[in-house]
């Protein structure tokens, strides 16, 4: 009986201990996760790379549908198939280059009436472009009888799909606008761009001065003296279509049109920057003030003094039109930005890379960063002195040399800015980093060297060379900051130490001191020489 009572008394105790945790435990919720794979991969139970289309559907040539699944990324990951196709394309292009090299030129003489080609690209140019392919496969315009080609790059697809959009779009009520360099309308001929579409010369000077005082200060691309000389020569030329901005007459005559095209591209880009500055695009006006007084923002460009009476919307639209003209002069009919590597073309690309645009149109800025750097390497801008292989430094003006150095630093600044925005870091000993020197500091065969100290005999060249070396030391610290590396106290102390060493290395004939009467300066070279002569003789 006692055993029965104990069993009965213990049984509720046990059952209570079993029921108690069941009451305290929270019920599990069933998670309805949205599938990530496409419908085809879910049916086949294959791995989906979430491409558009995915690799599995592409192999089987089936439609890739993401119904019921989360949307794939806007930028699909690079698949193995794309990499293989890219390598095959490069091999075909290499074979084409090899065939062009082996082919013999035609022997029949060309007639004088035959027009030269618009673009003359040699095998070296094609080979250089082959080594810097970074934006995908090049395709030509689609044939009307066949299906349109699928464009391989985002930039080309934008150029092909947005040809009928207005050049500027105002969004009410925020009064924001979207500035895009993509083709909106046809670019006039070079003859029309050299005459009809240009404003008056005083207006060009004002717009150019706005550019030189703003954009060109933090990103020096154009030397003001060089710019005024070339612009005066172009404006006063009786035949502008045969104007040659480069001073070297030994180049083939058909390249004159090529250099002129890129010079006009620079001119319209400079005017676009100047008009954007005058329009004050960062402070948009209210709706009544912003209404067009001449017509729609896509109306024809104004003439004469009407440029200053335009509304803000018209100024922005006209600046955008000029930017479009500049970019159109650098583009091929197929829509590819294929610039023959010259100083003028790179300078135009660098100016266009500074165009302010809406955040959603960042692609063309990144594209310009990479392309200008690659083209600058092709023409030797990052060398010292910055000249190409087919140039002679003795025939180049010092202003041109210094202008190229400033252009190279401007391109490097854009390149570093792109890395900083992308949270990347540039190595300190990057091959792109160059030493900036002042004009006249490049030692050539014609430079007379003093055998006593190894410095140039010309005191002005010595001073410029010393200043260039100091400038190089200071820029190394700036480069470290721009590349994302912190600057420590030891770095600054080392820089100051090296600056002191440079100052102490100045030849005695350039060192000055007060005279005995304290009224004039005299060099110390004579006294040091007099002290050293007896020691040398003994």
3-state secondary structure (DSSP) of residue 63: coil
Under the banding of pLDDT at 50, 70 and 90, the label for residue 267 is very high
Segment 198-201 long-range contacts (CB within 8 Å, at least 24 positions apart) = 198/267, 199/271, 199/301, 199/303, 199/304, 199/307, 200/304, 200/305, 201/235
Q: Report DSSP state, residue 149.
A: P
pLDDT at residue 134 is higher than 70:
no
User: Do 185 and 322 lie in a common domain?
Assistant: yes
How far are the Cα atoms of 98, 119, 125, 126, 298 from residue 95, in angstroms, in the given order? Answer: 5, 22, 15, 12, 46
- Average pLDDT in the 224-243 region? 84
Residue 24 domain-assigned?
Answer: no
Count of domains in the chain? 2
| Distance of alpha carbon 215 from alpha carbon 228, whole angstroms | 17
pLDDT number for residue 527 = 43
pLDDT cut 90: percent of the chain above it = 4
Which DSSP string corresponds to 260-310? Answer: HHHHHHHHHHHHHHHHHHHHTTTSPPPTTTTS-SSS-TTSPPP-GGGGTT-
Q: Which of 322, 351, 379 is the last residue of a domain?
A: 379
User: Do 373 and 472 lie in a common domain?
Assistant: no
- How would you class 538 by CB atoms within 10 Å of its CB: exposed for 0-12, middle for 13-18, buried for 19 or more? exposed
Q: Which of 350, 379, 408 is the last residue of a domain?
A: 379
Q: Please give the mean pLDDT across all residues of the chain.
A: 65
pLDDT at residue 504 is higher than 60:
yes
User: Do 375 and 470 lie in a common domain?
Assistant: no
User: Do 237 and 360 lie in a common domain?
Assistant: yes
Q: Which of 328, 350, 379 is the last residue of a domain?
A: 379
pLDDT at residue 329 is higher than 90:
no
Residue 340 domain-assigned?
Answer: yes
User: Do 170 and 291 lie in a common domain?
Assistant: yes
pLDDT at residue 89 is higher than 50:
yes
pLDDT at residue 181 is higher than 50:
no
Residues 6+ apart with CB under 8 A from 531: none
pLDDT number for residue 204 = 93
Region of residue 86 (phi > 0: left; psi between -120 and 50: alpha; otherwise: beta): alpha
User: Do 174 and 281 lie in a common domain?
Assistant: yes
pLDDT number for residue 399 = 62
Under the banding of pLDDT at 50, 70 and 90, the label for residue 367 is low
H-type alpha helices, 168-248: 190-193, 201-213, 215-218, 224-235
pLDDT at residue 421 is higher than 60:
no
- Average pLDDT in the 286-313 region? 53
| Distance of alpha carbon 137 from alpha carbon 377, whole angstroms | 22
pLDDT at residue 128 is higher than 50:
no
pLDDT cut 70: percent of the chain above it = 45
- Largest Cα–Cα distance in the chain? 134
Residue 323 domain-assigned?
Answer: yes
- Average pLDDT in the 204-224 region? 84
Rounded to the nearest 10°, the torsion over CA 239, 242, 248, 254 is -170
Q: What is the pLDDT of residues 374-402, one digit of tens each?
A: 777 777 787 777 777 767 777 766 666 76
Under the banding of pLDDT at 50, 70 and 90, the label for residue 116 is very low
How far are the Cα atoms of 178, 204, 522 from residue 502, in angstroms, in the given order? Answer: 51, 44, 21
Q: What is the pLDDT of residues 12-41, one digit of tens each?
A: 444 444 544 555 666 666 666 778 888 889
Q: Can you read off the two tokens belonging to residue 323?
A: 């930017």
User: Do 367 and 490 lie in a common domain?
Assistant: no
pLDDT number for residue 358 = 40
Q: Can you read off the two tokens belonging to residue 205?
A: 């000077």
User: Do 241 and 333 lie in a common domain?
Assistant: yes
pLDDT number for residue 271 = 94
User: Do 245 and 333 lie in a common domain?
Assistant: yes
Residues 6+ apart with CB under 8 A from 312: 279, 280, 284, 285, 289, 290
User: Do 463 and 372 lie in a common domain?
Assistant: no
pLDDT at residue 233 is higher than 80:
yes
pLDDT number for residue 7 = 46
User: Do 233 and 321 lie in a common domain?
Assistant: yes
User: Do 509 and 363 lie in a common domain?
Assistant: no
pLDDT at residue 315 is higher than 80:
yes
H/E element, 177: strand 176-177
| Domain span including residue 219 | 158-379
99-113, 115-129, 213-227: range with lowest mean pLDDT? 115-129
- Average pLDDT in the 506-527 region? 65
3-state secondary structure (DSSP) of residue 465: helix
Residues 181 and 364: beta-carbon distance below 8 Å = yes
- How would you class 58 by CB atoms within 10 Å of its CB: exposed for 0-12, middle for 13-18, buried for 19 or more? middle
How far are the Cα atoms of 38, 127, 227, 341, 401 from residue 391, in angstroms, in the given order? Answer: 58, 20, 21, 14, 12
Q: Can you read off the two tokens belonging to residue 212?
A: 């030189």
pLDDT at residue 46 is higher than 70:
yes
Residue 430 domain-assigned?
Answer: no
pLDDT number for residue 301 = 44
Residue 1 domain-assigned?
Answer: no
Residue 35 domain-assigned?
Answer: no
H/E element, 170: strand 170-171
Residue 37 domain-assigned?
Answer: no
Residues 86 and 58: beta-carbon distance below 8 Å = no
Residue 384 domain-assigned?
Answer: no
Range from 98-112, 219-233, 240-254, 328-342 that averages highest in pLDDT:
219-233
Under the banding of pLDDT at 50, 70 and 90, the label for residue 479 is low
pLDDT number for residue 82 = 64
């Amino acid at each position: 009986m006692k055993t029965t009572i104990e069993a009965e008394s213990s049984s509720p105790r046990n059952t209570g201990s079993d029921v108690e945790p069941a009451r305290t435990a929270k019920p599990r919720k069933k998670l309805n996760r949205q599938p990530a794979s496409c419908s085809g991969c879910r049916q086949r139970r294959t791995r989906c790379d979430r491409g558009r289309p995915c690799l599995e559907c592409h192999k089987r040539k089936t439609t890739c549908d993401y119904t019921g699944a989360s949307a794939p990324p806007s930028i699909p990951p690079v698949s193995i198939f794309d990499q293989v196709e890219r390598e095959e394309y490069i091999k075909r292009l290499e074979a084409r280059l090899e065939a062009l090299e082996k082919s013999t030129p035609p022997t029949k003489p060309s007639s004088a009436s035959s027009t030269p080609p618009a673009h003359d690209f040699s095998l070296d140019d094609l080979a250089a472009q082959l080594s810097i392919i970074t934006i995908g496969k090049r395709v030509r315009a689609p044939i009307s009888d066949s299906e349109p080609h699928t464009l391989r790059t985002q930039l080309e697809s934008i150029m092909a799909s947005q040809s009928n959009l207005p050049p500027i779009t105002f969004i009410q009520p925020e009064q924001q606008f979207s500035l895009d360099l993509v083709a909106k309308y046809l670019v006039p001929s070079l003859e029309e761009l050299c005459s009809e579409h240009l404003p008056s010369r005083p207006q060009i000077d004002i717009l150019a001065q706005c550019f030189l005082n703003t954009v060109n200060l933090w990103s020096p691309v154009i030397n003001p003296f060089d710019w005024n000389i070339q612009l005066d020569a172009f404006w006063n030329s009786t035949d502008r279509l045969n104007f040659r901005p480069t001073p070297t007459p030994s180049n083939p005559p058909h390249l004159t049109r090529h250099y002129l095209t890129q010079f006009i591209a620079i001119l319209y880009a400079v005017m676009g920057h100047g008009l954007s500055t005058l329009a004050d695009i960062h402070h948009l006006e209210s709706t009544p003030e912003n209404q067009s007084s001449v017509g729609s923002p896509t109306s024809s460009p104004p003439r004469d003094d009407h440029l200053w009476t335009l509304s803000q919307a018209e100024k922005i639209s006209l600046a955008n039109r000029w930017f479009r003209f500049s970019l159109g002069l650098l583009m091929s009919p197929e829509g590819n930005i294929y610039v023959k590597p010259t100083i003028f073309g790179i300078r135009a690309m660098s100016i266009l890379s500074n165009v302010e645009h809406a955040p959603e149109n960042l692609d063309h800025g990144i594209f310009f960063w990479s392309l200008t750097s690659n083209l600058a390497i092709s023409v030797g801008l990052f060398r010292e002195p910055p000249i190409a292989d087919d140039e002679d430094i003795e025939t180049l003006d010092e202003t041109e040399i210094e202008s190229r150095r400033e252009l190279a630093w401007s391109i490097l600044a854009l390149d570093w800015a792109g890395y900083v925005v992308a949270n990347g870091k540039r190595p300190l000993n990057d091959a792109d980093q160059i030493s900036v020197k002042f004009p006249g500091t490049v030692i050539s065969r014609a430079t007379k060297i003093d055998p006593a100290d190894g410095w140039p005999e010309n005191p002005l060249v010595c001073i410029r060379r010393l200043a260039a070396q100091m400038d190089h030391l200071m820029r190394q610290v700036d480069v470290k900051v721009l590349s994302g590396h912190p600057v420590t106290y030891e770095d600054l102390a080392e820089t100051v130490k090296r600056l002191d060493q440079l100052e102490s290395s100045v030849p005695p004939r350039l060192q000055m001191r007060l005279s005995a009467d304290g009224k004039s300066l005299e060099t110390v070279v004579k006294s040091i020489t007099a002290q050293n002569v007896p020691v040398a003789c003994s």
